[in-house]
Structure 1
């Protein structure tokens, strides 16, 4: 039992010592080099215009890496391009860049943070430049400082916008619900129209059949009159007389159409 307790205590102490060593270990860096690199980065971003940014972005990965290596500054390509893209947004939000205060450098795990308070035309902003464990540029960010009045104004606008959106949606839903009572009436109207159309089609079909029957009877009578005239003419020719004196009372078809000798 004592042996098991000793093993557990040793494991706990080992874990505690490992955690303490990890917490106390900090990334090594050259402070002066990072401060100089941060100063150059801020000044370059502040002076770069749209044309300069487009020129950097048009370079290939190899050309960009070579240019930054020739500068002798610890700038990674991704971090440098990200800083160039972030600066115009900061200027748009805070106004034109005017200067900055002293730098403060701190190490947090595998990252090195260099911060300073920037002076812009409209408001102050915290400029933070982050380097990785190899002291290469990772990112640049500018966080504007707003007054209490500006914060409350933004909060009020966000509240009004949110509540307005909710009320608009609720009104729209209420309108849809109020219109649902007309759905049965519309269904009845459509059914009535469909029934009227069906009845109209049936009437037209009946009229067409009736007119077709009458035409058939007329045609049959016409055919009989022609047949009578033909028979009367044939009999008159056989007798050698005129067909005016013949009257055909009826016509019957013979069982066979063969002539007997």
Structure 2
């Protein structure tokens, strides 16, 4: 019996280890990019970013609508995100730097742009055959205090909602006493009516 337990424990540990190893995330190694490729990608991404940045609100809305009509979800989401974060950024000032690296079969480009209120990281990932974007996003960089304030606001709204729902549920439960009284009255009426009918 003890041998069976030991074998069972050993098999359990081995299966658990195999499970953990199979679930581990493989990190893709960043490989170096040649200077020509890096400068070419920097130029392409910088031009693309400047074209988007140069658009006014009306043109940006047209770009979003055309991406929606063409069912280009990647561009639609990225441009919508950019439009929604524009007010948090302020006025565009300059492009600070462009980082280019290759991860697996994808070129990853991060363009750091300086705005009046905060920095924006324009993240783009291109297939190694330059056939198109696999990732595209506009990520404003918020300070720790801004993140904490937003988290605090979300917590207050969430807790307030839960509290309101609990109060509403408690109110509904308190009405059950009135329901019980009504049922008792109805039962008494029926009993009296039956007594009258019997007489």
Q: TM-score, normalised by structure 2?
A: 0.65
Deviation at 1:146, TM superposition (A): 1.7
Structure with larger Rg: 1
**Partner SS state of residue 97, structure 2:** coil
Instruction: Report the counterpart of residue 142 of structure 2 in structure 1.
Output: 146
Instruction: Report the counterpart of residue 119 of structure 1 in structure 2.
Output: 114
What is the CA–CA distance in structure 1 between the aligned matches of 2:58 and 2:52, rounded to whole Å?
12
Quick check: 1:107–1:113 contact (8 Å CA) kept in 2?
A: yes
What is the CA–CA distance in structure 1 between the aligned matches of 2:182 and 2:93, rounded to whole Å?
69
Higher relative contact order (CA 8 A, sep 6+): 2
2:182 pairs with 1:186: yes
Q: What is the alpha-carbon root mean square deviation over aligned residues? A: 3.4
CA deviations on 1:184-205 (whole Å, 9 max, x unpaired) are 2112344566789999xx9xxx
**Change over 3 Å in CA distance of 1:164–1:25 after alignment to 2:** closer
**Partner SS state of residue 100, structure 1:** strand
What stretches of structure 2 of length at least 5 have no aligned partner? 1-27
Instruction: Report the counterpart of residue 159 of structure 1 in structure 2.
Output: 155
Looking at secondary structure, tell me which structure has more strand per residue.
Answer: 2
2:55 pairs with 1:48: yes
What is the CA–CA distance in structure 2 between the aligned matches of 1:39 and 1:24, rounded to whole Å?
21
Deviation at 1:96, TM superposition (A): 2.9
Match of 2:105 among 96, 101, 110: 110
Deviation at 1:118, TM superposition (A): 1.5
What aligned pairs does 1:57-136 form with structure 2 within 5 A after superposition? 57-58=65-66, 83-135=78-130, 136=132
Deviation at 1:49, TM superposition (A): 2.7
Deviation at 1:26, TM superposition (A): 8.0
**Change over 3 Å in CA distance of 1:86–1:160 after alignment to 2:** closer
**Partner SS state of residue 113, structure 1:** strand
Quick check: 1:27–1:107 contact (8 Å CA) kept in 2?
A: yes
**Change over 3 Å in CA distance of 1:194–1:46 after alignment to 2:** farther
